[in-house]
Structure 1
Amino acid sequence: MTKQTFSLKPFLSPESAPDLTITGNISRENNQLAITYQLTGDLKQVVIPPLVDIPNRKNELWENTCFEFFLGVQNSSRYWEFNLSPAGDWNIYRFDDYRRGMQEETAFNQLPFIVQSHPDSLMLSLNFDLNKIIPSVQALEVAITTVVKQRDNHVTYWALVHKGAEADFHLRDSFIIIL
């Protein structure tokens, strides 16, 4: 198992990014993927939806604060987008190519993850079986991202790297972690 740590950077925009840090780690062992995000800083400025009693699959979670990651099969244009709301709601989309052929990934009926909230930090952890979508023999290219919605409705986009002229998490050359 190789655990890799990460630190996300905000996309540079005319408006300033909030005083936050987003760090974490990701690993793959026996085709189990584990990812943990840690959001720290002035969380009073961030819209963090309250935890729901029963998490559901929901669309457009990226319109609010949302932790995301993208998995691409090496040497293939196919990839998956995982959306995890601090409220507990989630979704997974499968793409055939860059922003093409988007479909909900039906291999998962639930995606339970842990959210721990404190006044100055929020932690989200997910551990799941990749065998439902990707054989263990295939190497993965990973992009790790987060959308942060501030109380003034300004949205910032955080990623390992930003390769485009605009914030675009789907650019395959930003899938820089290999698992």
Structure 2
Amino acid sequence: MASYELNAFDRRFQAISLVGAIEQQSPFILNVGYWLRDPNQYVLWPDLVAAHPRQDYLWEQTCFEIFIGVRDEDFYREINLSPSQAWQAYQFEEYRYPEDMPPQPAYDIDLVQLKRTHYGMNVSLDLTDFMNQHKLKWSDLFIGLSAVLKTSQGEHYYAMQHSSSQADFHNKRDWLHVF
């Protein structure tokens, strides 16, 4: 299991720390955990929902995100995970394209488990259809972890790395995990 400290885009904001961990489970299951330390309880958590519905615009509240890129390809997937236990997967042909809002749903990734925990969130995703359709191996993939945290102190953007002048989770340079 590889872990990454996610950094706030606003470097002055040090009140919350966030760590993401990635684990590949054969043959096609991806496990990701987020550990959040919020001693002042600034994070605003959305209300729980039942049955893990697919919902759009989850990033308008506290939301954890996973980006799945493919080596030497433009297309990628974005998975949004709400502490409410709602989720959604989106498909992009290239950087932020198509520009539809909400983005085009991706049905080639399935949710196995999504659970809010006392320390953050755990998710298991089934990438079988995505990987088989595109004839991918784990070594073809790279992963970016990020989060939008709505807090009583404003909105904060966390990612493995911020290499743009604006917070931009779609920037593949910031997707640091490889298998």
Q: Same fold (TM over 0.5)?
A: yes
Give the structure 1 partner of residue 67 of structure 2.
70
Q: Is 1:23 matched with 2:19? A: yes
TM-score normalised by structure 2 residue count? 0.87
- What displacement does 1:111 show? 5.2
Give the structure 1 partner of residue 36 of structure 2.
39
Residue pairs, 1:73-92, within 5 angstroms = 73-92=70-89
CA distance in 1, matches of 2:150, 2:14: 10
Does the 8 A contact of 2:68 with 2:78 survive in 1?
yes
CA distance in 1, matches of 2:151, 2:54: 23
CA distance in 2, matches of 1:98, 1:46: 29
Q: Is 1:178 matched with 2:173? A: no
Aligned to 1:5, the other structure's residue is in SS state strand
Does the 8 A contact of 1:81 with 1:94 survive in 2?
yes
Give the structure 2 partner of residue 159 of structure 1.
159
Aligned to 1:173, the other structure's residue is in SS state helix
Aligned length, in residue pairs: 170
Aligned to 2:84, the other structure's residue is in SS state coil
CA distance in 2, matches of 1:18, 1:56: 33
Cα RMSD for the two superposed structures? 1.8
- What displacement does 1:115 show? 1.1
Give the direction of change, closer, same or farther, for the CA distance of 1:160–1:49 in structure 2 (3 Å limit). same
Give the direction of change, closer, same or farther, for the CA distance of 1:33–1:108 in structure 2 (3 Å limit). closer
Q: Is 1:150 matched with 2:167? A: no
CA distance in 2, matches of 1:28, 1:44: 31
Moved runs in structure 1, 4+ residues, more than 6 A?
none
Identical columns (%): 27
